Amino acid sequence: PKLNSKLFKAFKCEIIKICRCKLTYVAAGLEGVSGRAALRELSVSNSESFWAAVARHRLCWSTPFHTVQDCDLSRGKIKWFEGGKLNVSVNCLDRHVHTCPERVALIWERDERGSEMKYTYGELLEMTCRLGNLLRRHGVKRGDCVTIYMPTCPLAVASMLACARIGAAHNVVFAGFSADALAERIRDAQSSTVITVNQGVRGGKVTELKKTVDTAMQSCPTVKQVFVAMRTDNPVTMTARDIAMEEEMLKEDVVCEPAVMNSEDVLFLLYTSGSTGKPKGLVHTQAGYLLYAALTHRYVFSYHDGDVFGCVADIGWITGHSYVVYGPLANGATTVLFESTPIYPDPGRYWDMVERLKINQFYGAPTAIRLLLKYGDQWVNKYDRSTLKTLGSVGEPINTEAWEWYHRVVGDGRCPVVDTWWQTETGGICIAPRPSDPDAEIVPGMAMRPFFGINPVLMDTEGEVLTSNNTSGALCMAQPWPGMARTIHNNHQRFIDTYFQPYPGYFFTGDGAYRSEEGYYQITGRLDDVINVSGHRIGTAEIEDVVNQCPAVAESAVVGYTHSIKGQGVYAFVVLKKGIDVQEADLSRQLNGMVSEKIAKYASPDFIQFAKRLPKTRSGKIMRRVLRKVVESDLEGLGDLSTLDDPAAVQEIIQGHEKLLSKNRS
């Protein structure tokens, strides 16, 4: 499409500004276009030129791309920068080693306070190369998938980058997941290689990660080798399959030829929960993902050369991928690897770290902010936080009280707080208050403004686009962007059905949103059966599947409820089989144990209510809407119960709920 020439000039200037990060380039062309908002408009209306310019300047290509994009949302087809060849690890390491080998790439904030370790870009490249060579020597090839089950640590980052270097995909599994959950992800990803550590250390507690891998191996016959790094000095039993990672790395060369990858080759899989019992392995590819992570990292957080970026997310989640590893490293930043918890050894941990490491951008989850708020301001005030410039929030809605405290106490009222909305599927931040003009308003608890190239729309229940403001609907994206997921591993049909079929021609996020009078977005929560516990996504169906495996259980229904710290808690309704005679307390304990063992501790129900029956429609569907209202004690909001098979079931559920609450209070 043709642009009017004045706008086009402005557009080009702003792109140069983006690329060179020099404000001096802006001035001239921008008169008549008011800054960032106008640029965003252009990035949407002329998205190809925008992304082409940014991709050329921001990434280092071995062969330039010939086609900017080839996308068809109605078919779930997404391709960016075809014809282009590059290597992600070269973009994250080698190019910075050339310009500043001594710059610190990683600061590993180990669990033991005050024992942080720094790694320069030169050192990280060396580690990555040795590991890349080691993997290659052990037969890992381009296109293979390596599962990484490690806590956040330098060798985990090097493992991810080593995969990228040799053209293998990685599949990082959060180290809090159980053996069963790990095994399911290894099998689905068809990994024959796993990388782990002997033990993990978090909050002063040791976790037996290698043992968990050993257990998982019993149901993963295709795994041929397990590399074991040593996080602690405690030896673990090694089998014929296991390889001592550090020892073997020492034997490898420090130079590792990077694989030349196509833009659309797979970079990684990352499993996340959906509304069915089976987690989905979302696939991200090389160039588009890296570009989007890098650009959002730079602009949403106002990252500048030399800043220390502190994202406290675990590398097992997408936030760790995009804003601990790929975004910051692509930008040559110093990135913090946080291994501990917000309250270990005391609730001053984050702010002590900010002072010690001189962190400039701090990015964390609302659940931690809510927890720390309860411990009081003194834990924050004790430490010097004057290096902080931007505060970020991610993963779940941030309530106004937490937002205000973050802004007023942590940031001394001087740092913009960016509430960033995005998903595993989007690859990077899609809606956030920044970038915007420096003095543009930020409304507490609102993600507000779409990023460059992002075109959100709200849909009504009929599937029509809502055009007015001050309105709510299902949040969709009307245009593709380079960071979005490309498919679900081995299940493209599920990818289409989940994201593109509900609103043909649009990407459906699964979230609802409100658009204010001013046109700002606020996320209102999931529209499907996915809940968010301490910022961790979990499908209620996944938990039900585990509960239903208990021989005493006839059926169950799991719903989320508002929890003052975790955001949402897990509430399970359980119906026992006829004639079962057990102590409810014993069975509760057993069910909690099963969920921890089959999924992860955070998925374990906070409440288990035993019921004689569940409210169902005449066609036999459990009325979750009703259950959700009951656990939120919103009896006024129960709504139309006329479709219920037996309305008396609701009364029983309400009474049972009250009984459980009062038992809990006493």
Q: How far is the CB of 365 from ligand WTA (least distance, A)?
A: 9
Considering the complex, state which of residue 193 and residue 335 has its C-beta at the smaller distance from ligand WTA.
335
Hey, what long-range contacts does 109-112 have (CB within 8 A, 24 or more apart)? Answer: 109/336, 109/337, 109/338, 109/339, 109/340, 109/353, 109/357, 110/201, 110/339, 110/340, 111/201, 111/202, 111/203, 111/204, 111/339, 111/340, 111/344, 112/201
> Where do we find the tokens 């002329």?
46
- Residue 637 has a CB neighbour count (10 Å cut-off) of 12
Considering the complex, state which of residue 489 and residue 657 has its C-beta at the smaller distance from ligand WTA.
489
Please give the residue whose beta carbon sits closest to ligand WTA in the complex: 424
Q: Decide: 604 and 588 in contact? Cβ < 8 Å.
A: no
Q: How far is the CB of 119 from ligand WTA (least distance, A)?
A: 26
* CA–CA distances in Å: residue 280 to residues 274, 477, 489: 7, 20, 7
DSSP string, 419-434: EEB--GGGSS--B-S-
- Phi, then psi, of 63 in degrees rounded to 5: -135, 130
> Where do we find the tokens 């649009």?
506
**Cis amide bond preceding 154, omega within 30:** no
Q: How far is the CB of 560 from ligand WTA (least distance, A)?
A: 11
Q: How far is the CB of 310 from ligand WTA (least distance, A)?
A: 17
Q: How far is the CB of 526 from ligand WTA (least distance, A)?
A: 5
Considering the complex, state which of residue 176 and residue 395 has its C-beta at the smaller distance from ligand WTA.
395
Q: How far is the CB of 456 from ligand WTA (least distance, A)?
A: 13
**Cis amide bond preceding 435, omega within 30:** yes
Interface residues with ligand WTA (CB under 6 A) are 272, 317-319, 394-397, 419-424, 447, 509-511, 523, 526, 532, 537
Rounded Cα–Cα distance for residues 529 and 622 (Å): 12
Considering the complex, state which of residue 447 and residue 574 has its C-beta at the smaller distance from ligand WTA.
447
Q: Output the six-digit token pair for 514.
A: 């409100």
Q: How far is the CB of 636 from ligand WTA (least distance, A)?
A: 25
Considering the complex, state which of residue 383 and residue 514 has its C-beta at the smaller distance from ligand WTA.
514
Label the pairing between strands 607-611 and 567-576.
Answer: parallel
Considering the complex, state which of residue 404 and residue 645 has its C-beta at the smaller distance from ligand WTA.
404
Considering the complex, state which of residue 16 and residue 565 has its C-beta at the smaller distance from ligand WTA.
565
Considering the complex, state which of residue 299 and residue 317 has its C-beta at the smaller distance from ligand WTA.
317
Q: How far is the CB of 431 from ligand WTA (least distance, A)?
A: 8
Q: How far is the CB of 80 from ligand WTA (least distance, A)?
A: 20
Helix (H, G, I), strand (E, B) or coil at 661: helix
Q: Output the six-digit token pair for 121.
A: 């870009």
Measuring CA to CA, which residue among 508, 510, 501, 549 is closest to residue 530?
510
Considering the complex, state which of residue 279 and residue 453 has its C-beta at the smaller distance from ligand WTA.
279
The DSSP secondary-structure symbol of 464 reads P
